[in-house]
A and B are shown apart, each in its own frame.
Chain A
Amino acid sequence: MESRYQPTVHTLMIPGLDLDAGAGRWGVHDPAGKSQKESGVEARTEKERSPAPEIWAVGGGKGGTGKSFLISSIANCLALQGKKIILVDADFGGANLHTFLGVSKPKVSLTDFLEKRVPLTDLVVESGIENMGLLIGAIHSLAPDDMKYTQKLKLFRHIRKLDTDYILLDLGAGSHFNTLDTFLLADKKIIVVLPEITAIENSYYFLKNAFFRQLLKTLGDHGFKDLILNAWSDRETHNIASLSQLIDYLRSVSTTVENIINRELSNFGAHIILNRVTTGQEVVIGRSIKSVCKKYFCVDAKYVGYVEHDSIIPRCINKRKPFMQACPGTRCAREIERVTENLLDGKDINTRI
Chain B
Amino acid sequence: MNMQPEEYERYLDILEISPGASYSEIREAYLHLKSLYSEESIVTLPIRDDISEERKKEILRDIEEAYQILAGSCEQKDLSEVEGKTIHLSADEFDQAPVAAINFGGQTLREIRERQGVDLQKMALSTRIQVHFLQRIENEEFDALPPETYVRGFVVSYSQCLHLDPKKVADDYMKRYQLWKKNM
Contact = CB atoms under 8 A, between A and B. Distances in A.
Contact of A289 (B43, B55, B59): B43
Contacts of A353: 28, 126, 160-161
Contacts of B47: 201, 204, 292, 296
B25 A197 contact: no
A278 interface: no
A284 interface: yes
Contacts of A287: 32
Nearest to B122: A352
Interface in A229-263: 241-245
A294 B119 CA distance: 32
A152 interface: no
Interface of B is mostly: helix
Given A197-B42, A200-B43, A352-B25, A291 B51 contact: no
Given A288-B41, A352-B28, A352-B126, A201 B50 contact: no
A285 B43 contact: yes
Interface in A295-313: 295-297
A297 B66 CA distance: 20
Interface residues of B, number: 22
B16 interface: yes
Interface of A is mostly: helix
Given A291-B36, A352-B25, A242 B50 contact: yes
A353 B50 CA distance: 28
Contact of A200 (B25, B33, B42, B126): B42
Interface string B39-65: 001111111011100010001000000
Interface in A194-209: 195-197, 200-201, 204
A46 B42 CA distance: 49
B123 to A, nearest CB: 10
Contact of A296 (B42, B51, B161): B51
A195 B50 contact: no
A339 B31 CA distance: 26
10 contacts: A195-B42, A196-B42, A204-B46, A204-B47, A243-B50, A288-B32, A288-B41, A294-B16, A352-B28, A353-B161
Given A242-B50, A291-B16, 11 more contacts: A200-B43, A201-B47, A241-B49, A244-B50, A289-B43, A291-B33, A292-B47, A295-B37, A352-B126, A353-B28, A353-B161
Interface of B: 16, 25, 28, 32-33, 36-37, 41-47, 49-51, 55, 59, 126, 160-161
